[in-house]
Every structure is written in structure tokens, then in C-alpha cells.
Structure 1
């Protein structure tokens, strides 16, 4: 958390305004929880400002894996190991993805049972799964990469998640928007109680976050019969970068 403070007595909980000993409702919600000098309490406004910017993602996280079934746990694990080795070789040597950008995100071997009233529970075999998380930055080639992975043994492509690798570079934009939003709210409150808004007394930042504008788990689209040679269609969309500021103003 980053905090800038101009000292002026004690600070009230954000969202509370006391004017002449009376709480102003509507835009303000919380009751005061800090005890301060009465004169200070009557002359501050606490608001929360939010800012957001929409940007194009610059990195994708691909979940690519292999599943296999066999009569024994060893056979199932051996089958996935062979396919994962082939898939990893493809990613590193054909697609030139650095080893640091390829990480095992899931691995299991477990029994597979069937059940019926006559025989009860019966062991049918074993399932094995090995999933890789792959960082990839050439977003326009993701469809082609996923198709290639499928041809080379990947039978699980769970999702593709788009984001920005360094959201901090957008801090200035979102902070300025959050400050403007806080100033607008404080101005409305001051006008509503027939007072004037004064200087900023303190500002605290709740943090910067980035997230997709929408969640979509299945981004590998089926090819149409009329366009069977085309790559799978994967759309990166936009990323929303947001921040929240708690701002305290003097009330004149």
C-alpha cells in the first residue's frame, strides 16, 4: 500500500462526514470508528475514488495437458510421461518457448472404479493426467500453437487466460482517474451540505489489479467444415486495470 499524508489531526474512517455533530447520509455509509477532536471531525470528507483503463493483453497462460487410461498405474503414468515429453519438446524446439515459461501445474494418477448392485465396486483401471501451464506472448499465433499441440499428443486444453505481464506500467493512468473520481464525489458531498471542499489531507491506495473483462474457459473453437484448414480461433479481448484510492479532503 502506498500512502501520502498531509497532517491535520486524527483521521476518520473512509466514507463518513460529520457536519455540526450530525452524520450526512446518502453518499456516506459507515459510522465513525475513530475518535478525534470534535473540530476536526466536523471539517473532513472521506471518499473512495476508483479508476480503470482498458488495454490489450500482452501475455497468455495456456493450460495444455495429457490424459491416459491403462490397466495399471504404472502403465497410465508411463503413457502420459511419453506424451508430455513429446509435447514439451515441441514447445521448446519448434515453438521456441523458454523452459522457464513451461511449468507443470497438475499431475495425478488415480484408480478408476465402476459400481453395480451385483458386483459392487470394481477396479476398472487407472487414470493419469499431466498438465502444463505455458506462458506465451505471440497472441496472434495461439490458435496455431494449440492445434499443433493437439496433433502432438495434447488431449486436454482446459483454458487460455489473457492478462498483462506488468500492470504497474498503467498505474499513473488509473491513479489519475481514481483521483478525479474521488474529487468529483467529494465536490458533490460538499455542495450537498452547502460547504466548500478544501485541500487533500491524506491519500491511501488499496492497490492495482488487472483482470479480463470476461471469463471464458473454452477458447479453443471448433473449425467449421468449410474452413477445416484454418487455425482454431482464439480472441484475446481486453484487460481491465483498476485501482482504488481512499482520499480525505478538508471541508471549509
Structure 2
């Protein structure tokens, strides 16, 4: 969560009623027609279709020894990477690990061997190809899908953020006008603005299905970008 203070005019004491309240202009001063303010808060969110997808797959091998587990890997990482690159995906990371593998028994845990995992992550700007990337990786030797996540690129996030902020400000002004009108006053200048937002711009694929040809199809969900504002206006 990030917060940016755009302007401050004097110290204020808030007499809040829900999300809207009248404010004393300066600490220790009584409210007068010349220093009265109104403080409101509002939020808004907009939805965007993801424009970036990251697919993470892995080749797995098991054996009684670490060497045996490595030799039992179901696919060669280089082959998987080349196959994904052939689908216009960008391989962003490749990680390899070997670790003991355990099974639960009546008396606790018992080591049954070793597991080798070679994880490959690939990114694409065409979110409709994620199913194809999964199938391509599996055909090249990957036998596990670690995850699929959908994201917004920087420009899309910024545009959505600006739209959400504008909508939140419009709502804040409408609330301020309503409260001021009820008090036989009118809204003047903005005294302070504080903004906040969520940093969650990622969604994960929850389901996948096979089409009539046995290929994987995945439908991405939308991503919500939200913004909140707290605004203090002077009253005329």
C-alpha cells in the first residue's frame, strides 16, 4: 500500500461521521465560517484484461541417490526452453535443485530417496497462448505445471490507476457537495489530498481444460486496480 500526501494546509482535527465529517481548521480554534472544512473519503476500482502471462513448468526426477534422481529427469531443460522460445515466449529463469524426499509413516517421516526438480519460467505478451505453452513444455519433457499467473504491464497499470483515481475524486467531490449543501454552504478549494492503492496486480489461473483435440485451454480472469482518496475541502 502506498500513500502520497499532495498538500497540507495547517493542522486539522477531524470530527468524523462515517466517511464524511466537518473539520475545525486549526487546532484550538473554534469552527467559524472562515475556517470550516469538509473531509471526505472515496474509493473506486477498474478492471483490466491481463496483457502478460508467466508460465512455470518443471521436469522432475526421482531416485535412491541424488545422482539417480538427476539422471531420472523426465526432460532436458534446454529442450524445454527451446520449445517455449519457439512459441515466442521469453524464458526468464531456470532453476535446478535436488533434495531428500520423505514419506510419512506411523512413526514419523522416513527418507525414501531424492527428488530432482528443474523449474523453467517463461513469459508471454499473448495471454491466449498460455495453454499452448503448457502443452509445448509437456511435449518437450516437462511433467509438472508449477503455476500460471497473469499480470498487467507497467503502462496498463498506470492508465488503470489514473482512471480509478479520477473516479474516486469525482465521488469524493459529489459527497462533499452533498454535505456542504445540507449545511447551507458550498465547497471551495482543496486543502489536502491523500491517496492509497492496492499493489495486487496479479491473478493466478485456477482452472484449465482440454479441448476436443486434447490440448490445454486456459481462460484468464480480469485484474482489478483500485484506488482510494481522502480529501479535505474548504467551505465557502
Superposition TM-score, scaled by structure 1 size: 0.75
Matches within 5 A, 1:24-35: 25-28=17-20
Aligned mates of 1:111, 1:91 — CA distance in 2: 29
Aligned residues: 228
* Bigger share in strand: 2
**What do the CA deviations read for 1:91-133 (whole angstroms, capped 9, x no partner)?**
23x22333xx4214x654222234556x986432112223223
Contact 2:56 2:120 in 1 (8 A): yes
Aligned mates of 2:104, 2:18 — CA distance in 1: 60
**What do the CA deviations read for 1:61-116 (whole angstroms, capped 9, x no partner)?**
21212222111112223444953222112223x22333xx4214x65422223455
Partner of 1:59: 52
Aligned mates of 2:69, 2:78 — CA distance in 1: 14
Matching residue within 193, 196, 202 for 2:186 = 196
Matching residue within 131, 140, 162 for 1:143 = 131
Return 5+ residue gaps in structure 2 as ranges: none
Return 5+ residue gaps in structure 1 as ranges: 18-23
Partner of 2:11: 10
Aligned mates of 1:115, 1:139 — CA distance in 2: 39
Partner of 1:247: 231
Aligned mates of 1:124, 1:8 — CA distance in 2: 68
Aligned mates of 2:186, 2:52 — CA distance in 1: 46
Contact 2:191 2:234 in 1 (8 A): yes
2:136 is aligned with 1:152: no
* Bigger share in helix: 1
Q: Secondary structure at the match of 1:50?
A: strand
Contact 2:19 2:41 in 1 (8 A): no
Matches within 5 A, 1:113-128: 113-114=102-103, 116=105, 122-128=110-116
2:215 is aligned with 1:231: yes
Quick one: structure 1 residues 141 and 113, their matched pair in 2 at CA, closer, same or farther if it must change by over 3 Å? closer
Matches within 5 A, 1:35-114: 36-39=27-30, 43-80=36-73, 83-92=76-85, 94-98=86-90, 101-104=91-94, 107-114=96-103
Aligned mates of 1:199, 1:120 — CA distance in 2: 69
**What do the CA deviations read for 1:140-161 (whole angstroms, capped 9, x no partner)?**
2221121111111111113321
Aligned mates of 1:216, 1:177 — CA distance in 2: 27
Matching residue within 157, 179, 182 for 2:169 = 179
Aligned mates of 2:161, 2:136 — CA distance in 1: 37
